[in-house]
Amino acid sequence: MSEKTHPPAPDPAAMPWQAPKQRRRFAAPWRALLSTLLLVTHAAGAADMDYNRARMRMVAEQLSASTRGISNPAVLEAMATVPRHEFVPAQFRRYAYDDRPLPIGYAQTISQPYVVAFMTEKLEPQANERVLEIGTGSGYQAAILAGLVSAVYSIEIVEPLAVRAQGDLARLGYGNVSVRHGDGYLGWPEAAPFDAIIVTCAPDHVPQPLIDQLKEGGRMVIPVGELDDQNLYLLRKRGKALQREAILPVRFVPMTGTASRR
Closest CA to 221 of 96, 91, 111, 138: 111
* Residue 111 falls in the annotated catalytic set: yes
Q: What whole-number distance in Å separates Cα of residue 179 and Cα of residue 7?
A: 5
Backbone φ and ψ of 130, nearest 5°: -110, 130
Closest CA to 225 of 197, 195, 248: 248
Backbone φ and ψ of 24, nearest 5°: -110, 125
Marked catalytic residue, from 2, 64, 111, 178: 111
Residue 32 gets the label, from left (phi > 0), alpha (psi -120 to 50) or beta, of: alpha
Query: E-assigned strands of the chain?
Result: 17-18, 102-105, 108-110, 130-134, 151-156, 177-181, 194-199, 214-226, 229-238, 241-250
Residues with catalytic roles: 111
